[in-house]
Amino acid sequence: MVILGIETSCDETAAAVVRDGKEILSNVIASQVPVHSPYGGVVPELASRKHLEYIIPVVEKALADSSIGAKELDAIAVTQGPGLVGALLVGVSAAKAMAYALDKPLIPVNHLNGHIQAAFLSDDMPQEPFICLVVSGGHTALYRVDADGNNVLLGATRDDAAGEAFDKVAKILGIGYPGGVAIDRLAVGADPRAIRFPRSRFEKDSLEFSFSGLKTAAANFIRTHGVPAPGCAGEAGSISLEDFAASFQEAVVDVLVEKTIAAARQCGLSGIAAVGGVAANGRLRARLGEAAVLSDLRLYLPPVRFCTDNAVMIAAAAYRTWQRVGQQPGMLELDAFSR
């Protein structure tokens, strides 16, 4: 079964053609990072306008790269939500138009289910049930992924997502966007114990997250001491920009790793996975690997290129949905949802 996937939930316009949920025939992504970088974050109106500009060329290139004609497709898949509603509407409208014009089934995909499906886009595929950490700019949550396709929410963030905290602190530091990438790069080889930032853990056995307090602590440190300068550690007790980045990153990673391992123990499962944009973070991937070995757990990580938003995961998730429930009526009436 050949599926065209379309993804426009935030600031990436993506299309991909995937056969049987696994064989990637094409994967095209038009990034908007240069558009949003001056603002330190995604501007929804600008994102929607860029999706309108990119969507047709991106879909056409995905089809051309795959050597599959539009009429040869078996179905069209699209991210229905959650995300920026204006951005989502561009992808949903394009997918509905294609499905109608080509008389093809339309398969809506939940964006988070798409990220979870990314865990299967490697040679070492997870065995359900397993625990999945979904961690990105808009979402931080733990799910139990069952073999019947049901994803059970175990805990989520009460405020900021981890990726959002990275972006906001990076904006205060003036080190660029996306913030997580900039902080990850600065933190390499630096001291993660230079500053003891707080960790929000809540009550015993809680699997919920919070990063607003950590973000505030980082902002207060900068307000008190000024923006750290690069490479000045050791000068009259000063903190370098690199050590600040490493310490902040470690505070985020500590909680993500602890809660993921705790979820596996509470559910009695032997497998864990991490997906989403923040799952590309080098420190998080390394710490999860260490924790998995110590806890005798199997760790599943998608390739870094499938951690950030992409349409391969949307097409793959749609294929699994099709396997379970087949074609559903009334799909041309579907609408986007932001939450």
Q: What is the CATH number of the domain that holds 8?
A: 3.30.420.40
Is residue 95 a part of any domain in this protein? Answer: yes
Length of the chain: 339
d(CA 32, CA 18): 24
Q: Do both 177 and 244 map to the same domain?
A: yes
Q: According to the model, what pLDDT value does residue 236 have? A: 40
Distance CA 294, CA 273 (A): 16
pLDDT digits (tens, 9 = 90+) for 50-94: 999 999 999 999 999 999 999 999 999 999 999 999 999 999 999
Answer yes or no: is 121 within a domain: no
Domain assignment present for 64: yes
| Helix, strand, or coil (residue 161) | coil
The string of pLDDT tens digits covering residues 98-155 is 999 999 999 999 999 999 999 999 888 999 999 999 999 889 999 999 988 889 999 9
Q: Check residue 154 and give left, alpha or beta (phi > 0: left; psi -120 to 50: alpha).
A: alpha
pLDDT of residue 241: 96
Residues 168-199 as b or e (16 or more Cβ within 10 Å = b): bbbbbbebebbbbbbbbebbeebbbebbebee
Q: Is residue 55 part of a domain?
A: yes
Q: How many domains does the chain have?
A: 2
Q: Per the domain annotation, does 151 fall within a domain?
A: yes
| 225 found inside a domain | yes
Q: Are residues 21 and 105 in the same domain?
A: yes
Portion of the chain with pLDDT greater than 90, in percent = 87
The reply to whether 105 and 139 lie within a common domain is no
pLDDT above 80 for 335: yes
* 230 and 325 within one domain: no
Q: Averaged over 175-184, what is the pLDDT?
A: 93
Does 167 share its domain with 109? no
**What pLDDT sits at residue 237?**
52
Residues 314 and 270 in one domain: no
What pLDDT does 40 receive? 85
Residues 137 and 286 reside in one and the same domain: yes
| Residue appearing with tokens 């397993």 | 130
In this structure, the answer to whether residues 293 and 320 fall within a common structural domain is: no
In a domain, 328, yes or no: yes
Indicate the pLDDT class of residue 235, thresholds 50, 70 and 90: very low
Do residue 37 and residue 134 come from a single domain? Answer: no
Domain identity same for 230 and 278: yes
Domain-located, residue 338: no
Cα–Cα dist 2/246, whole Å: 43
Which structural domain, as residue segments, surrounds residue 44? Answer: 2-116+308-333
Q: Are 20 and 90 in a shared domain?
A: yes
Residue 328's pLDDT band (boundaries 50, 70, 90)? confident
Tell me the helices (H) and strands (E) count for the chain, helix number first. Answer: 10, 10
